[in-house]
Amino acid sequence: MTSILWADDEIDLLKPHILFLEDKGYSVTAVTSGSEALDELAEKEFDLVFLDENMPGISGLDTLTQIKRLRPQLPVIMITKSEEEHIMDEALGGKISDYLIKPVNPNQILLSVKKHTVSKRLVSEKSTFSYQQQFRDISMQLGNRLDADEWVDLYRKLVYWDLELADTNDENIHEIFRSQKAEANQLFCRFYEHNYIDWVNGKAEKPLMSSTVVRERLFPLLEDDRPTFMIVIDNFRYDQWRYIQPLVEQYLRTERDDIYYSIVPTTTQFARNTMFAGLMPSEIESKYPQYWVNEDEEGFKNQFESELMGENLRRHGYNIKHSYNKVLNAQHGKRLVDSLPNLMHNKLNIIIYNFIDMLSHARTDSNIVRELAEDERAYRSVTLSWMEHSPLLDVIRFLADHDANVVITTDHGSVRIDNPVRVKGDRGISVNLRYKQGRLLDYNPKQVFEVKEPRKIFLPKRYVTSPYIFARAGDFFAYPNNYNQYVQYYMNTFQHGGVSLEEILIPFITLCRK
């Protein structure tokens, strides 16, 4: 039974309201002063407090302060006769849960009680019921031959329900959703494999992709008089964007919410270099060999991103002043914030944030980080926590006060892996868990997306016989040597490089000042 404490020096006048709540099944303890309320709270547990603002002795606002010291999470609803703004401000500053103006009616009181005691359960039940209604529609869509745009729309729906159902305690509905999402991932992999070679070779109409997204979405923004800031968050998934979107939209307005298709492999070396260059990997190697580093060569594989973007701009006739900034830690981030007034003089500013990619790798290597981000929900939560305390939010705040185009995007996402697939190879085999290239690869072709001739998908070819294979959905490649130890170490980590909804369908968000 929900227990309510009600403090008001005119409590006798509120007897009808108290009886109304008791008839609805609530337990109400009535007191006439702030000091009595504090005494009751010291002795008993309550689920909610109604607190009169104007009481003799300890005022309602002072009582509120002491309640929050005693029980910080206890919902307190302030009731007052006054509509003066400064009293409302003081009450809200004291972290009240709601604010009601006298006279109040019983239904108003009941609504406020429900809002702060059972609303989470009611919302959860409503979400569960609504998803059950949508389940059949989504299943029917999965049975159709979806095109690229329809897959994007379906993925948006899955992300929506993933977020909506996150707080429900109904494990059955979670299992149903996981099963439906897994089915969607398997079907998407088939779709991507069936169409990808034709897309990149111009034999079929292709969706917005890594090689075209800068030309089609970023370059038109450069026609404005305003500067453009392109914020690239490495390894950033669309569900993570939707989770932090309310925070970002406190400062900026979303103009376009695009999802584009990453190339494979879904790794920084390939996908991000392709995005900046506007060329596929083998085209970069051929046209700008000085800016391409193969996997078997020493050196960072994406150390020439700025140069590749510069070449892309020049090829399309944009002789503009631009900057490239990579934020690797908080100190770099703070220095960047300090430099923002100077960056406003550039036509284009690119800012790279590597936190989420570092979180993904740290989660693999650290048991503590694994516990902090043990599943998709926790992974999103850590992303939001980082955003709230990151210098990136200071960048967002600054841009909200200035006239600029803002893009938030990424080069690829990541997927939680849970199914090992055996593969063998020689010492030169690539080490990524989600794709492999090398001589003498030994694998079951039915278990992978196989490309025997890399040039067909515009990837550099290291050897005469060196196919690429890509893991699907939640699969990952494991070696027979030390198999069990290897599998246990990587199981349920977030990885990228292969084909899945989460890795391939990624955000390109355009924002502006409100």
Q: Express each pLDDT in 212-226 by its tens digit.
A: 999 999 999 999 999
At position 269, the amino acid (one-letter code) is Q
Q: Exposed, middle or buried by CB within 10 Å (0-12, 13-18, 19+), for 465?
A: exposed
Is 353:232 a contact under the CB 8 Å cutoff?
A: yes
pLDDT in tens, 363-408: 666 676 677 777 888 889 989 999 999 999 999 999 999 999 999 9
Comparing 125 with 352, which gets the higher pLDDT?
Answer: 352
Q: What is the pLDDT of residues 91-141, one digit of tens each?
A: 556 577 777 888 888 888 888 888 777 656 656 677 788 888 889 899 999
- The domain covering 213-414+503-513 belongs, at the CATH homologous superfamily level, to Alkaline Phosphatase, subunit A (3.40.720.10)
CATH 3.40.50.2300 assigned to domain 3-117? The reply is yes
pLDDT of the residue at 457: 96
Report the chain's mean pLDDT, rounded to a whole number. Answer: 90
Residue 246 in this model has a pLDDT that exceeds 60: yes
Residue type, 47: D
Nearest to 356 by CA among 332, 315, 327, 314: 327
d(CA 233, CA 306): 16
Q: Domain ranges in the chain?
A: 3-117, 120-200, 213-414+503-513, 416-493
Q: Is a pLDDT exceeding 90 seen at residue 172?
A: no
Compute the distance between CA of residue 77 and CA of residue 117 in angstroms, rounded to an integer.
Answer: 12
Rounded to 5 degrees, what are φ and ψ at 66? -70, -35
Average pLDDT score over residue span 53-77: 87
Taking the chain, what is the end-to-end CA distance rounded to the nearest angstrom? 45
**Count of other CB atoms within 10 angstroms of residue 13:** 11
Mean pLDDT computed over 229-252: 96
pLDDT of the residue at 299 = 62
Please tell me the distance from the alpha carbon of residue 276 to that of residue 281, in angstroms, as a whole number.
11
Measured between alpha carbons, how far is 241 from 507 in angstroms, rounded to an integer?
Answer: 7
Rounded average pLDDT over 335-354: 96
pLDDT attached to residue 54: 84
